[in-house]
Amino acid sequence: MFGANPYKEAPQVAASLSPDYPQFTPVLLPEGSNAESAWIGEVQPFVSDEVARAFLRQIEKGSQIWVAAGRIRDEKPIRQSHWADPLLVGMNIRCRLLILIQPLPAHPRAYLLNPLFAEHYVATHPHPRFDQMISWDGKKVPGLCIYSASEFRYDPARERRSQFLEQVTLYIARHLIWLKTRRLCRGYPPHGVPLRPLMPGEILISDRPVQVQQAVAEGKPTWDYWAGYWPGPTAAAFNPETHLKKIKPHEECWCGSGVPYGSCHRPADVIQQNLSSR
Ligand SMILES: [Zn+2]
């Protein structure tokens, strides 16, 4: 007869992830996941290097950016030069994503499968979700920190998954800029000293951090690692202080649980802030 089916029940899956993102198709849930459904599809934020360069300026200015079906809209040609322009070549990268729909009210989770968001980015990248790590194809893949309640709020009048996928596309766009603007740094992230930049179009064989000196006493080890430029208003790392300042208790928590801040991470943030202000 047949072998035991590891998937006890076929998940009840909607016909599409979002009407605005028909390129996503359902897949089996990764092992150990408590998601309701899993979807794979591609986004390609930039159709050309020019679109990437225009996006960089817009995001730095804080202008509204238009996204449709995982693509950023082309804007009028740019005039002033930007230090990152020469590095932003080969930007028309198609990015393969895994989206895990969580039981409501939690937000979906997003994973970048290709180009792979590597496990070691939890140490060198500004916006990973190491608490949302999954196993995929024998590799550990951290989640992407898409949602920041202090920067973005869902429009209740619009379909939520479409808005989430727009945010994913904007994250991927910034991530591609981060990848292309990386510098080899020595020290402990994020405080290493730059040794050399990535050359335009240079492909790294490995971007895994390399330890060059062990930690001494209470200090941190010294690594050689690659880290880039993360453009736009989420550039600052958030901490309990900024969360407490920016998110009201009745508003959604920053963590993506979909629960009000006051009954989710706020009590822990208050404790942390009290500890660090001592
Ligand atoms: Zn929370």
Looking at residue 149, its pLDDT comes to 62
32 alpha carbon to ligand 1 midpoint, in Å? 21
Q: 258 CA to middle of ligand 1, Å?
A: 8
Q: Are residues 170 and 188 in the same domain?
A: no
Residues 217 and 259 in one domain: no
Within this chain, do residues 193 and 272 fall inside the same structural domain, yes or no?
no
Query: Do 195 and 266 have their domain in common?
Result: no
Distance from Cα 199 to the centre of ligand 1, integer Å? 40
DSSP 125-136: -SSEEEEEEEEE
10-residue mean pLDDT profile of the chain (278 residues): values are 51 76 94 90 97 94 91 84 94 98 92 96 92 92 82 83 94 96 94 91 90 89 95 70 90 87 92 80
Ligand 1 centroid to Cα of residue 264, in Å, is 4
The reported pLDDT for the residue numbered 274 is: 86
Distance between Cα 59 and ligand 1 center (Å): 27
CA–centroid distance, 155 to ligand 1, in Å, is: 20
Is the domain of 165 the same as that of 205?
no
The Å distance, Cα 248 to ligand 1 centre, comes to: 13
User: Quick check: is 232 in a domain?
Assistant: no
Q: How far apart are CA 230 and CA 181, in angstroms?
A: 9
Task: Determine the distance separating the centroid of ligand 1 and the alpha carbon of 161, expressed in angstroms.
Answer: 19
Residue 195 and residue 264 in one domain:
no
Q: The tokens of 34 are what?
A: 């408590």
**169 and 55 fall within a common domain:** yes
Look at residue 3 and tell me if it is in a domain.
no
pLDDT of residue 1: 44
* Sign of the alpha-carbon dihedral angle for 193, 199, 200, 203: negative
Distance 271 CA to ligand 1 centre (A): 14
Domain count, the chain: 3
pLDDT, residue 33, reads 85
Q: Helix, strand, coil: what percent of the chain each, to 5?
A: 25, 25, 55
148 C-alpha to ligand 1 centroid (Å): 11
Amino acid at 69: A
Q: Is residue 53 part of a domain?
A: yes
Query: 143 with 259, same domain?
Result: no
How far is the centre of ligand 1, averaged over its atoms, from the C-alpha of 205 (Å)? 37
Residues 70 and 143 both lie in one domain: yes
Within a domain: residue 81? yes
Ligand 1 centre and the CA of 45: distance in Å?
29
Nearest to 250 by CA among 268, 269, 270, 264: 264
Q: What is the pLDDT of residues 41-82, one digit of tens each?
A: 999 999 999 999 999 999 998 888 999 999 999 877 778 899
What's the gap in Å between 269 CA and the centre of ligand 1?
10
Is residue 17 one of the residues assigned to a domain? no
CA of 109 to the centre of ligand 1 (A): 14
pTM score over 0.95 = no
Residue 233 resides in a domain: no
Residue 37 inside a domain? The answer is: yes
Same domain? For 52 and 149 the reply is yes
- pLDDT of 92-129, one tens digit each? 999 999 999 999 889 999 999 999 999 999 999 999 99
Using alpha carbons, list the distances in angstroms from residue 65 to 15, 54, 62, 93, 265. 28, 10, 9, 19, 30
| 10 part of a folded domain | no
Range of the domain at 258: 238-277
84 and 208 belong to one structural domain: no
- Distance (Å) from CA 63 to ligand 1 centroid: 28
247 and 134 fall within a common domain: no
